[in-house]
Amino acid sequence: MNILVHNYAALKDYFESDMEVIIQQGGYVSDLIDLLIEKNPSSEKLLHKCRVAVNENITNLNYRLSDRDKIDILPPSSGG
Residue type, 70: K
| DSSP letters spanning the chain | -EEEEEE-GGGGGTS-SEEEEE--TT-BHHHHHHHHHHH-GGGHHHHTT-EEEETTEEE-TTPBP-TT-EEEEE------
Please give the tally of structural domains in the chain: 1
CATH of the domain at 35: 3.10.20.30
Any bridge partners for residue 28, and if so which?
Answer: 64
Greater confidence (79 vs 6) lies with: 6
pTM: 0.90
Which amino acid is located at 19 in the chain? M
pLDDT in tens, 29-64: 999 999 999 999 999 999 999 999 999 999 999 999
In a domain, residue 79? The reply is no
Find out whether 68 and 46 touch, Cβ atoms under 8 Å: no
